[in-house]
């Protein structure tokens, strides 16, 4: 006698808290709100999680410009002590973009962070960071990919999830990046939030987040040259200056959301 088996997808547990650890990517630049503050993928994700978990709490310890050593020193211990259900960790990319980068040290610090955070939560989430097309990425791509190999290895050893943003065609599109060419637009952050949401086992709200936007005619030559000049003047030269002097855009800035408090969702 045959029976018809019904296959159901497991429902993810209603996680009750989230702590985000990292740099500008997790802080939410350049997803700017009308009041001048930043929203970003972590706020969007927290809003979705809060909608299905009454009393949901959220902290975001991220500060722009932080290197992996600073993240370990300033954020990891705080995050581990909070006892959150989910912790996201994205770090190390700023190190790979420095002229001189000791990848062995970066790997060691990332391993220390994972070893401290994984036992402190129900689910640790790591990411292979997105990278837009262009000469800057090409120069640093070997370091980035070395970092991603390390992330995959640590995730396998410590039961962490890896969200592969680097392999998503949509996020390589220059239109997903702000004029500074370093930070995602609001649409880019929305897609990252969707990617993490699905990685945590939730049903897709946007099954096509990896799909690139429809093609549009490229800007005229003069417009491209104007954009290049503006980028160099407003963003590239100051960024190079900070690299050469050891300064950071996040020097002196506090964590975005330093306490694990109830969260009702991001502002719109």
Is residue 118 in a domain?
yes
Say whether 57 sits in a helix, a strand or coil. Answer: strand
> Which residue from 45, 89, 22, 5 is spatially nearest to 205, judged by alpha carbons?
45
Q: Name the maximum alpha-carbon separation found in the chain.
A: 76
CATH number at residue 203: 3.40.50.1110
Is residue 9 in a domain?
no
Lowest mean per-residue pLDDT among 17-31, 140-154, 246-260: 246-260
> Which residue from 167, 58, 69 is spatially nearest to 113, judged by alpha carbons?
69
**Average pLDDT value over all residues in the chain:** 85
pLDDT for residue 173: 87
Is residue 8 in a domain?
no
pLDDT for residue 176: 87
pLDDT for residue 175: 85
Mean pLDDT of 77-87: 98
Do the bridges between strand 161-164 and strand 257-262 make them parallel or antiparallel, or are there none, so unpaired? unpaired
Range of the domain at 87: 17-262
Mean pLDDT of 15-29: 95
Domains held by the chain: number: 1
- For the cut 50, the answer to whether the pLDDT of residue 152 exceeds it is yes
Is residue 23 in a domain?
yes
Distance CA 247, CA 226 (A): 28
pTM: 0.83
pLDDT for residue 251: 59
Instruction: Read off the tokens for 76.
Output: 């990891």
Is residue 4 in a domain?
no
Is residue 1 in a domain?
no
Mean pLDDT of 6-29: 82
Is residue 213 in a domain?
yes
- For the cut 70, the answer to whether the pLDDT of residue 14 exceeds it is yes
Span 165-224, pLDDT tens digits: 999 999 988 888 876 668 898 999 999 999 999 999 999 999 999 998 766 566 665 655
Residue of higher predicted confidence among 189 and 234: 189
Contact (Cβ atoms closer than 8 angstroms) between residue 249 and residue 24: yes
Mean pLDDT of 219-245: 54
Distance CA 11, CA 252 (A): 42
pLDDT for residue 8: 47
pLDDT category at 69 given cuts 50, 70, 90 is very high
Is residue 2 in a domain?
no
């Amino acid at each position: 006698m045959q029976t018809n088996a019904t296959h159901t997808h497991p429902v993810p547990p209603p996680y009750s808290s989230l702590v985000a650890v990292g740099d500008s990517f997790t802080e939410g630049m350049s997803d700017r709100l009308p009041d001048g503050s930043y929203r970003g993928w972590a706020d969007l994700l927290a809003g979705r999680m809060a909608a299905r978990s009454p009393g949901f709490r959220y902290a975001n310890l991220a500060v722009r410009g932080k290197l992996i050593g600073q993240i370990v020193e300033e954020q990891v211990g705080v995050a581990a002590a909070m006892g959150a259900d989910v912790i996201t960790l994205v770090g190390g990319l700023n190190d790979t973009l420095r002229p001189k980068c000791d990848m062995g040290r970066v790997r060691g610090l990332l391993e220390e962070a994972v070893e401290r955070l994984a036992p402190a939560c129900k689910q640790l989430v790591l990411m292979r960071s997105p990278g837009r097309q262009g000469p800057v990425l090409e120069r640093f791509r070997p370091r980035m990919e070395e970092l991603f190999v390390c992330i995959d290895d640590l995730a396998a050893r410590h039961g962490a999830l890896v969200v592969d943003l680097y392999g998503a065609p949509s996020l390589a599109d220059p239109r997903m990046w702000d004029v500074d060419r370093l930070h995602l637009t609001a649409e880019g952050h929305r897609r990252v939030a969707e990617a993490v949401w699905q990685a945590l086992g939730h049903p897709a709200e946007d099954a096509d987040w990896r799909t690139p936007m429809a093609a549009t005619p490229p800007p005229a030559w003069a417009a491209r040259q104007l954009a290049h000049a503006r980028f160099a003047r407003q963003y590239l030269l100051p960024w190079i200056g900070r690299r050469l002097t050891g300064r950071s855009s996040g020097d002196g800035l506090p964590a975005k959301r330093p306490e694990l408090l109830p969260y009702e969702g991001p502002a719109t």
